[in-house]
Amino acid sequence: MVLRPPVAPMLAQAAEAIPRTRPGAGVAYEQKFDGHRALLFTPPVPGGPALIQTRRGSMVQDRFPDLVAAALEQLPPGLVLDGELLVWDPEAGALSFEALQRRAAARARGAAALAARIPAYFLAFDVLQLDGVETMGLPYRERRRRLEVLFSARALTAPWTLCPMTTDLATAQDWLETWTDVSGVEGLVIKPLTSKYLPNTRGWTKVRRRDTTEAVIGAVTGTLARPQLLLLGRYDQDGRLRAVGRTVALRPNAARQVAERLTASASASASGHPWTGAVFSAAWGSRDVLDVTLVRPDLVAEVRADRAVDHGGIFRHPLRFQRLRPDVAPEDVPGFGAGAAAASG
């Protein structure tokens, strides 16, 4: 049976640290890159179109004509790959999520011009079909072997990249601690060697590197007595408080700790607050809007953040509140654009 889109990809459950595995339970550790999850389909027979499907099932091959052309030229028919779309920004000398967003949002007319300036890459980490034969029922160990054979037999190079993988825990820990300093690598995905590919099932584990840093509390959801989320900011070079992200829901003890020190903005209209009139989305890229209460921006929070940070300094994933830092003044917080790696100490 030939696979045709949409195919629901297998998913990963988030974890805060590399899980312990029982003796003899083999697992693979793959580098997790900051890209767009995608499935790539080559035509069952030569002459048909190559297709690119997003995690949510949308078809975006018209946005990536460079990958489509390369797939028809270099890949065999009847192939389905699972992986990440990535874009290298030559000016920044690094992988760029913002450039990837521009590629993903491009219309047909502008897609070719963008592809010439900022080409896309496909980082493959699984094969769901090879030579027209479905492989999802095979264990990960065998699927990975076939993927490696595909890359070596066809001498595949850019725009095709084989995701780095190891079965050595020490190597994986080194990747998590040091490779995440390299732009674009944000953590690990951990996969049992014997696992089948199960669409829409969280059978893998993902671990993002998180660093401790500080930000200024500028607003909350909920009430001042019972805050739920913290809206955080950092000052830019012009002295403006810029929103950089929000926390996950506070635990009861943390909410009480924060509530004891929160102060409402100076007036009912909050006209003197730097975020007066600002609109905050419920999640990165979401159109849903949060109902927030502005507070006096004189309280600093210590948070844990992963490496998914836009070049402008905005955290794309929610932050984990650690504690208040009454010993740190707002002006001593890392500046806007510093990302997660910087901390005031």
Contact (Cβ atoms closer than 8 angstroms) between residue 141 and residue 149: no
Q: Which residues contact 14 (CB under 8 A, 6 or more apart)?
A: 205, 206, 207, 208
Q: Which of 336, 330, 332 is nearest to 309 (CA)?
A: 336
Tell me the longest C-alpha to C-alpha distance in the chain.
69
Cα–Cα distance, 35 to 340 (Å, whole number): 18
Contact (Cβ atoms closer than 8 angstroms) between residue 236 and residue 250: no
Q: Is 206 a catalytic residue?
A: no
* 160-162 vs 120-130, strand pairing mode: parallel
Cα–Cα distance, 156 to 135 (Å, whole number): 20
Catalytic residue among 32, 191, 196, 206: 32
- Please give the single-letter amino acid code of residue 320: R
Active site residues: 32
